[in-house]
Amino acid sequence: MPPSIVVNASIRIEAPADTVRAHYRDVDHHIRNRVHSGTTYEWAAPERAGERRVKRTFRILGVVKHDWLVHEDTPDGRFVLRCVGGTHAGLVVAHEFAPLEPAATEVRVSARAPTTLVPEILGPLLQLGLRLILRRSLHEDKIDIEKRGYRHGRAAGNVARALAPVDEAVAMGLAPDGRRAIVSGACLVATADGVVDDAERDAIRIIAEKVGVNRAWATREIARHEQLARLPITDAYAVRADEIGRELVATCAAEPCLVAAALAALVSCGMSLSELEVLRALASAGGYPERKLPALVARLDADLMNART
């Protein structure tokens, strides 16, 4: 193993270990809520199946820098960040989550940096700099969990702002069929990649509440669309998109439905190609111009950012 510098730090966080660990692994929460000041995150294309790769952007002396991080879970329960490219290439940061009490956890962080970083990053101050950075990061995570009320599985970002077009449609007297079609469209797109996680379910719950649709009906609708991913019929999603699209045309609900559907996909791991393709099919069936879709999705993504501003 090449020579390296090792720095350790720890902090007590007043929350259960499962919650704390989930916070560190929740990339979408960090993307939308700017947990760490001066640093932004975005999903990066994985190089192998199942890889969780993230791009981190920051500034040094006003110059924009980037790192590419791979997130790994180890068999012994640690959460590891490996910097595989960028300014801090070679840096490995391991997190341990030790329960102190039922609602208290000690986070222990160990950072290992190759000595080749020394000439480029802080020179002889690298070890001190790493320790200060770790301590600041730990305190920002502590504040986010304890003071801002992080909750695992919640749709991340300024969901209320992003769903403003849905509120407007409801305020203008949207018909019941149109309200249900909005929820169905969100379910259709969210299930397009075969996986519906807690954040997507939370987003659909919020959408259902906004349009006045019964939560139990929305839950059944999620399950109904999950079944489509298991069917051998290759055009099942296209057929269902056409069905929902007809309701959208009849109730003039295409745009609020597409907003809701895109949001349900964006709140977890970004929008996959399969989700984007189903969104495109839903827009076509609902009579919404495809050329306007990129702007709709971009606006929605921007609205979800900076949730606390």
What are 96-153's pLDDT values in tens digits?
999 999 999 999 999 998 877 655 555 566 677 778 888 989 999 999 999 887 887 7
Q: Any long-range contacts for 147-154 (C-beta under 8 Å, 24+ apart)?
A: 148/33, 148/308, 150/15, 150/19, 150/23, 150/26, 150/29, 151/19, 152/18, 152/19, 152/22, 152/23, 152/26, 152/198, 153/197, 153/198, 153/199, 153/201, 153/202, 154/29, 154/198, 154/199, 154/202
Torsion of CA 33, 36, 37, 41, to 10 degrees: -70
Residue 218's closest CA among 194, 187, 192? Answer: 187
CATH no. for 4-146: 3.30.530.20
| The pLDDT of residue 61 | 63
| Residue spans of the chain under pLDDT 70 | 1-2, 61, 117-126, 231-234, 306-309
Torsion of CA 212, 216, 217, 221, to 10 degrees: 120
Domain boundaries, the chain: 4-146, 159-304
Q: What is the pTM of this model?
A: 0.71
Q: Is 245 exposed, middle or buried (0-12, 13-18, 19+ CB in 10 A)?
A: buried
| The pLDDT of residue 309 | 42
The CA distance from 156 to 159, in Å, is 7
- Which residues contact residue 50 at a Cβ distance below 8 angstroms, ignoring those fewer than 6 apart? none
| The pLDDT of residue 306 | 59
| The pLDDT of residue 121 | 59
The pair of three-digit structure tokens given for residue 73, joined into one six-digit string: 């879970």
User: What does DSSP assign to residue 116?
Assistant: G
Pick the CATH number of 159-304 from 1.10.10, 3.30.60, 1.10.3680, 2.40.30: 1.10.3680
CA-based Rg of the chain, rounded to a whole angstrom?
A: 22
Neighbours of 108 (CB within 10 A): 16
> Would you say 266 and 300 are in contact if contact means Cβ atoms under 8 Å apart?
yes
Across 182-218, b (16+ Cβ under 10 Å) vs e yields bbbbbbbbbbbbeebeebbbbbbbbbbebbebeeeeb
Q: What angle do CA 275, 276, 278 make, to 5 degrees?
A: 65
Judged by DSSP in three states, 88 sits in coil
| The pLDDT of residue 117 | 67
> Would you say 242 and 251 are in contact if contact means Cβ atoms under 8 Å apart?
no
40, amino acid identity: T
The pair of three-digit structure tokens given for residue 195, joined into one six-digit string: 């996986």
| The pLDDT of residue 267 | 84
Residue 254's closest CA among 184, 161, 162? Answer: 184
| The pLDDT of residue 256 | 96
